[in-house]
Amino acid sequence: MTQLVLKPGRERSVLRRHPWLFEGAVERLDGRAKSGDTVTVLAADGRALGRAAWSPESSIRARMWSFDPNEIIDDVFFKRRVAAALARRAALPELAGQQGLRLIHAESDGLPGVICDRYAETLVFAFSSAGADKWRNAISLAVQKATGCTRVYERSDADLRTLEGLGPRCGWLHGDLPEEGVVIEEHGVCMEVDVVAGHKTGFYLDQRENRLLTRTLSKGRRVLNCFCYTGAFSLQALAGGAPRVLSLDSSGPALEAARRNLARNPQLDATRAEWREADVFEELRALRAAGERFDLIVLDPPKFAPSPAHAERASRAYKDINLNAFKLLAPGGLLMTYSCSGGVGIELFQKIVAGAALDAGVDARIVRRLTASADHPVLLDFPEGEYLKGLVCAVG
């Protein structure tokens, strides 16, 4: 068995059960291993610490499969991990009956580099690490058998694969796209999911409960939804009784999908919705110049900082949109602002939003802190898994 030997003192992260081993922690590899192969991790003194997937192209040289050095990594191992992930979600009442659900959340479910989202009877997988890629067939088959889903699509096209020395891979592993497309119902609202070309695996499941909160806050409020994508926040605002919802996005195709989603929901009053293709940064300034005011603003931008190295530039972008949003809020208004950037922690994000409020000349208070839905758990030993953070700020 090939052994990965760590430098003296570098076993501490493994003993704390952190799943990543970086290049700088590795002393040597005893034996041969191809990308994705399983290796036994040893401390410098020879203590066996666990089993990991070897990734020679990545700065993360190995990802821990197990902290039991005697555990066999095979098809049965992955069946157990899949069953445990599904059981965690089955134990949470708020996830019962959800048609859109994250079933496997990578490291936080003990499966580094593996994402699996369920949309009705369709499973969508994303394999982003060398180890996950090697075991993709065993993992996808285990989930399909456990769920009984009839369609399986792979969306292994994230940039992270390049860092692992892997190329993109997309396509149907089982079944085909249904004639009516993939459609789910979320809190009484129907949404189409583009599993082939949509963002992430086709939809933002991590914002499910935050969209429901938007619905409960929207009654009687004029709503501005920025970076609206296919309109999920917007439709929940309409369902909640917003008299007007203006939705902004720079993508024409995304807005066309949003209009189709609205049409799928005849119970919603389409005359209260406006979809506007625009650069959000510029449009926020144009709305200010036009004297517009809103009672509830949603800022859910794309990832501005994928790593801490991008944090400074991202901070300027977050400051810009939040400052202009504060200036557009009517007295007593609410700002729901988010960051999905792993390189921007919650403390920095709150500092940015506070600076925006100060420069906007408003008094604002945090009335809620928001995070990802419960099907996106965060392993306590892996804080890097907590990427989505949000604040609800009240003005006045």
* Nearest alpha-carbon partner for 63 in 387, 309, 371, 379: 379
- Give the bridge partners for 366, in sequence order: 393
DSSP 247-311: EEES-HHHHHHHHHHHHT-TTS-GGGEEEEES-HHHHHHHHHHTT--EEEEEE----S-SSGGGH
Element (H, E) at 78: helix 75-90
**Of 149, 226, 228, 340, which residue is the catalytic one?**
340
CA dist 311 and 136 (Å) reads 33
Asked about 149 being catalytic, the answer comes back as no
Q: List C-alpha distances in Å: 248 to 8, 225, 281.
A: 53, 6, 10
Q: CA end-to-end span of the chain, whole Å?
A: 65
Per residue in 267-276, is it b (16+ CB within 10 Å) or e — as a string? ebeeebbebe
Burial grade of 278 (CB within 10 A; 0-12, 13-18, 19 or more): middle
C-alpha span between 315 and 281 (Å, rounded): 14
Q: 1, 23, 26: which is closest to 11 by C-alpha?
A: 26
The enclosing H or E element of 140 equals: helix 136-147
3-state secondary structure of 263: helix
Q: Could you list the active site residues?
A: 340
